[in-house]
């Protein structure tokens, strides 16, 4: 079967991992990609069942966090760039929906979901919203698909920090300062390296966030910025160098759990808050006091063990998609 593979065409590690999992799970199907920039799909260059071009029968959207229409800009963009559905069959895999704040956001989200006859999501809020507002039959909720990945276990003792640069709002500076202070505290206590992970090179530009944090550090000679540039497995190996992780990126938290790296989450998103509640990690808002972060970097921390049931449930994103593809043949 020929399948159009869609997603966010941004340099984002999490989205790229999910796309690669789907492509490798269906080696007998041909996936077509039509990125705005071919470099954005470089992580699939060596996959034998990926071609560049279009097909118009089946579309699978691997989207991660999607359907976000809370801001005025997001609503305006949706109106201006509203796309018609050119596909007979559409599925979205492993999505999450951030908290919907008003009636217009609900309407835009419902309209965006309308074309999909198969939906798998990764958190309880998204599952409840989709079932309540779309009345669709094929809706499934499983742990994030990346939990099905085989990643190397931690072997190092560096501090990892995976920050996020918020595109809107003016609170990035104080958030960066907290992370820089935590990094300096770690260096002064242990005299070990700090690895700043830029999981996104696109719109949010985590490279900029990492650069700002390193610049703010007193001991910035002990910090290294690790930039994701399409080599997923290299990024896995660098994360395994960390003995503890401060996660603001959702998939940095998922990968840390898989690699058995103790972690603390600091964010402004529902998806990371929900993940923290499920697995018992400490979750902080970006505006919260720095003390829990300093306590975390100064103590020995035990990793959270991921049970086999979580991994098996995560694989069901692929299983349910497989059943859907068989039904529409």
pTM of the model: 0.92
Confidence of residue 67 (pLDDT cuts 50, 70, 90): low
Residue 169 has pLDDT above 90, yes or no: no
Task: Name the average pLDDT for the chain.
Answer: 90
Give the integer Cα–Cα distance in Å for 9 and 16.
Answer: 9
Give the integer Cα–Cα distance in Å for 182 and 224.
Answer: 15
Residue 68 has pLDDT above 90, yes or no: no
Q: Residue 80: what pLDDT?
A: 47
2-148+311-328 belongs to which CATH class? alpha beta
Residue 275 has pLDDT above 50, yes or no: yes
pLDDT digits (tens, 9 = 90+) for 287-316: 999 999 999 999 999 999 999 999 999 999
More confident residue, 192 or 11: 192
**R_g (Cα) of the chain, nearest Å:** 20
Tokens of 202: 């696109």
Confidence of residue 38 (pLDDT cuts 50, 70, 90): confident
Give the integer Cα–Cα distance in Å for 319 and 77.
Answer: 34
Confidence of residue 37 (pLDDT cuts 50, 70, 90): low
Give the integer Cα–Cα distance in Å for 13 and 84.
Answer: 28
Coil, helix or strand for 204? coil
Give the integer Cα–Cα distance in Å for 147 and 23.
Answer: 16
Domain 158-304 listed as CATH 3.40.50.2000: yes
For residue 2, how far is the Cα from the chain centroid? 26
Q: Residue 105: what pLDDT?
A: 80
Q: Residue 325: what pLDDT?
A: 96
Segment 219-234 shows an average pLDDT of: 96
Q: Residue 8: what pLDDT?
A: 65
Domain boundaries, the chain: 2-148+311-328, 158-304
Segment 188-210 shows an average pLDDT of: 94
Contacts of 306 (CB under 8 A, 6+ apart): 147, 257, 258, 279
pLDDT digits (tens, 9 = 90+) for 74-124: 545 554 455 666 789 999 999 988 777 778 888 888 888 889 999 999 998
| Contact predicate 68/13, CB 8 Å | no
More confident residue, 187 or 125: 187
| Contact predicate 177/216, CB 8 Å | yes
Residue 309 neighbours by CB distance under 10 Å: 9
Residue 40 has pLDDT above 90, yes or no: no
Residue 181 has pLDDT above 70, yes or no: yes
Segment 169-184 shows an average pLDDT of: 91
Q: Residue 202: what pLDDT?
A: 78
């Amino acid at each position: 079967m020929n399948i159009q593979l869609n997603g966010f065409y941004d340099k984002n590690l999490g989205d790229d991992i999910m796309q690669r999992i789907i492509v490798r799970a269906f080696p007998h199907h041909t996936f077509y990609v039509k990125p705005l920039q071919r470099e954005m799909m470089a992580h699939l260059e060596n996959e034998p069942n990926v071609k560049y071009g279009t097909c118009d029968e089946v579309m699978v959207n691997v989207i991660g966090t999607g359907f976000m229409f809370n801001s005025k800009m997001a609503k305006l963009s949706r109106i201006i760039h509203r796309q018609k559905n050119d596909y007979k069959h559409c599925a979205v895999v492993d999505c999450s929906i951030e908290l919907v704040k008003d009636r217009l956001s609900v309407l835009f989200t419902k309209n965006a979901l309308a074309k999909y006859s198969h939906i798998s999501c990764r958190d309880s809020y998204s599952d409840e919203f989709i079932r309540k507002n779309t009345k669709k039959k094929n809706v499934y909720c499983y742990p994030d698909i990346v939990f099905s990945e085989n990643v190397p276990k931690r072997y190092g003792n560096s501090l990892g920090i995976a920050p996020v640069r918020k595109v809107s709002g003016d609170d990035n500076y104080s958030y960066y300062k907290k992370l820089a202070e935590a990094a300096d505290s770690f260096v002064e206590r242990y005299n070990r390296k700090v690895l700043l992970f830029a999981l996104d090179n696109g719109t949010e530009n985590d490279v900029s966030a990492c650069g700002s944090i390193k610049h703010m550090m007193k001991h910035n000679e002990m910090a290294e910025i690790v930039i994701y540039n399409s080599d997923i497995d290299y990024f896995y190996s660098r994360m395994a160098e960390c003995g503890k992780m401060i996660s603001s990126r959702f998939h940095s938290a998922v990968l840390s759990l898989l690699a058995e790296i103790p972690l603390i989450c600091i964010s402004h998103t529902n998806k990371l808050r929900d993940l923290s509640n499920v697995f018992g990690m400490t979750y902080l808002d970006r505006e919260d006091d720095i003390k829990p972060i300093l306590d975390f970097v100064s103590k020995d921390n035990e990793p959270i063990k991921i049970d086999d049931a979580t991994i098996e449930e995560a694989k069901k994103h692929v299983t349910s998609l497989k059943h859907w593809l068989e039904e529409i043949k």
